[in-house]
Amino acid sequence: MIQLNNVSKYYPAGFGRVYVLRNISLEIAQGEFVSIMGPSGSGKSTLLHILGLLEEPSEGEYLLDDQPVQKLSEKKRTELHRTQIGFVFQAYHLIDELTVYENIETPLLYKGLSGSERKSRVAELLDRFNIVARKDLFPSQLSGGQQQLVGIARALATEPGVIFADEPTGNLHSDQARDIMELFRELNQKDGVTIVQVTHSEVNAEYGSRVIRLKDGWLEPSDVKLVQ
C-alpha cells in the first residue's frame, strides 16, 4: 500500500542543507498497524507528513497504492489526500467555530456528498463513538479525550484506507489514551484500516504490530531493507 524508495527531506541552511530524513526506504502493507518511534527531532513527524501527503520529499519516490505520488497532478494528489487518507493530530486541530457535528461533516462537504448521505454518515460516526449527545457542542466544551474522538471520527468520515496519527494521545490522560488506542486497535482489526502512528510511548506502540525506528533522520538498522 505504501512504499518509499530512498526518500530524503532537507531544508536549506546557510550555504548548505540540513537533512531531516535520509535515504528512507520502507514498505507498509494494507492492514498493518505501524508505530514510528525515535528521539525528539529524529524526523518522525516529517516522515508522517510525507506519508500523509502534507509535505513532499526532497528526493526519492513515494508510491501510494502503486501510484507515484509526486508525478500526480496537484488536483489528483488533493483528491487522494481527501479520500484515501485520514490524519489525526496531537492537538486535535478541530475547527473551533464549528460544532462536533459540523466538524465531522466537513470532509464530506469537500468530497461532494449529498445532504442525506452526509447526514447518515455523520449519524453513524456519532453513534459509533458514543458522542450523539454532544453533537451540538463546540470543541472548547469537550474534554481532550472527547475532542480526540471527534478528530478521529472526522478522519474516518470519508472511509479512508489509512489513518496517520501524530502522537494522538500526547495531550491526554492515561485512561483517555488507552481508550483512543483501543479504538485504533478495533479500527485496525475489525475494519481493516491501516494505521501509522508516531508515538513516544512504548505502551502505545504495543497496540501495533511493527515499530519503525528513526535516529537522526536515518532508519534504525532493523528496518533498513537491503537493496536487491
Site residues (CB under 6 A) for ligand ATP? 11, 20, 38, 40-46
Compute the least distance from the CB of residue 15 to ligand ATP, in Å.
15
Compute the least distance from the CB of residue 92 to ligand ATP, in Å.
16
| For ligand ATP, the closer CB: 44 or 81 | 44
| For ligand ATP, the closer CB: 103 or 199 | 199
| For ligand ATP, the closer CB: 41 or 68 | 41
Compute the least distance from the CB of residue 66 to ligand ATP, in Å.
26
Compute the least distance from the CB of residue 14 to ligand ATP, in Å.
12
Mapped to the 3 state alphabet, what secondary structure does the chain carry?
CEEEEEEEEEEEECCEEEEEEEEEEEEECCCCEEEEECCCCCCHHHHHHHHCCCCCCCEEEEEECCEEHHHCCHHHHHHHHHHHEEEECCCCCCCCCCCHHHHHHHHHHHHCCCHHHHHHHHHHHHHHCCCHHHCCCCHHHCCHHHHHHHHHHHHHCCCCCEEEEECCCCCCCHHHHHHHHHHHHHHHHCCCCEEEEECCCHHHHCCCCEEEEEECCEECHHHCCCCC
| For ligand ATP, the closer CB: 42 or 99 | 42
